[in-house]
Amino acid sequence: MDKASSKVMKSARQRARLLLRYLSPGLGVLILLSGPCPAKEYGTDGLRQAFSELGSLENYLDFPSTPEGLNACFKDSNPRCWNLYARLRKASMKLFEQGAEVALQRTLKAVSEECKAPAKDKADLFSPWQKCRGAVSSFYFFSSDPEDRQIIESLRKLDQSVLWNIFVESKGYSGDWTANRPNKQRWIQFLSSLTVLDKDTVGRRGYINVFSYPAKHHTGIMLLDPRLKLPQDQEERVKAFRE
C-alpha cells in the first residue's frame, strides 16, 4: 500500500470511529427497539388468547394430526375440522408475528406467567391450566440446540411450585415437544434435579420416562408451524377465516 492510500484508509477509519461515537447512543436505542421486548408486550395484544387456543389442541376430537388428515379436512370442506385448524393456525401465526426469536421469548414469558396459578378465564374451556399448557406445548416450535438450552435455562430460574404446575397440574409433559428435543439427556438431567416431582405418585422417574420413551408425533402441532408453508389455497383460506 502506498503512502497516499494508507492516509486515505486511516482517515476513513477515523471517520468511521467518529461516526460510531456520534451514533452509538442512538444505535443502542435502535438495537433495544428492534430486539425482543416480550415483557412489556405480554398479555396486552391477544397473545394470551393465542396460548389458550394452542392449549386446546389435544382436547379436540377432530383436529387433524397428519398432513393427509389436513388435506382431507380441507378437501371435504368439513367446516368443523377446517375451522378448528384455521383458528389454531392463526394462534400460532400470532405467536410468530415478530419472528421466531421474539416468539420464543414470548413463550418463555407465558410459561413463567401462566403456570403460576390456575386461570379463572371462561375462554379456557378445557382446563384452568390451558394457557400454561399452550405455552409449554409451543416448545415444539423451538427445537434447535440453542433454543432448547434457552428453554431449560429459563425453566431453571422458576420456583419449584411453578415447575410443579408445568409438569403435574397442567400436564405439560404431554405433546409432541417432548419428542423433538435435540438432546434428551439434557432434559433427563434437568428433570432429575426437580425434587418437587417426588410429591407425585410417579415421582421424578415418571417424568423422565416420558423423555426416555417419547411417543411418535401425534398432536398435529407440526401443521401449525407458521414457518412451514401450506399450499396457497389453504393459506388463503386460513387468512380469510373469521369465526
Partner 1 sequence: MTKPPKLKPSTFIVLIGGPGKFAPCDREHDETWTNYIVPIQVATKADQLDLSPGETLQWWVYAPAYRERWEDDTTVVKDPKLDKGRNLIDSRQKAINKVKSSGATDYLDRIRNMAATMKASFKALESPDDFWKELNALPENSVSRLWYIGHASSDGLMLKLIHDGSCRPAANTSDMILVEDIAKNAGTVSKKMKTKGKPSKFYGCFTEKFAEQWNTVFGTAAEGAIAKIDFGVTDRPSKIPQLLPRLEQSKPDTGWTRLPAK
Residue from 63, 85, 164, 187 in contact with partner 1 (CB under 8 A):
63
Residue from 174, 180, 188, 222 in contact with partner 1 (CB under 8 A):
174
- When the beta carbons of 155 and 208 are compared against partner 1, the nearer one is 208
Output DSSP code: residue 241: -
Residue from 43, 49, 65, 143 in contact with partner 1 (CB under 8 A):
65
For residue 15, the one-letter residue type is R
CB distance 164 to 117 below 8 Å? no
Question: How far is CA 37 from each of CA 34, 63, 101, 104, 109, rounded to the nearest angstrom?
Answer: 9, 33, 10, 11, 10
CB distance 126 to 88 below 8 Å? no
Nearest to 182 by CA among 211, 129, 127, 143: 143
Q: Is 60 in the site for partner 1 (CB under 8 A)?
A: yes
Q: Is 171 in the site for partner 1 (CB under 8 A)?
A: yes
* Binding segment toward partner 1, per CB under 8 A, in 4-12, 43-51, 141-149, 216-224: 216-224
Residue from 34, 213, 227, 242 in contact with partner 1 (CB under 8 A):
213
Residue from 53, 86, 89, 175 in contact with partner 1 (CB under 8 A):
175
What values do phi and psi take at 158, rounded to 5? -85, 155
Measured distance CA(116)–CA(122) in Å, rounded: 18
Measured distance CA(79)–CA(194) in Å, rounded: 44
User: Residue 1 corresponds to which cell in the numbers above?
Assistant: 500500500
For residues 115 to 154, the per-residue mask of contacts with partner 1, x marking binding by CB under 8 A and - elsewhere, is ----------xxx-xx--x---------------------
Q: Is 218 in the site for partner 1 (CB under 8 A)?
A: yes
Binding site for partner 1 (CB under 8 A): 56-63, 65, 80, 83-84, 125-127, 129-130, 133, 171, 173-175, 178, 201-203, 205-207, 209-210, 212-216, 218-220, 243
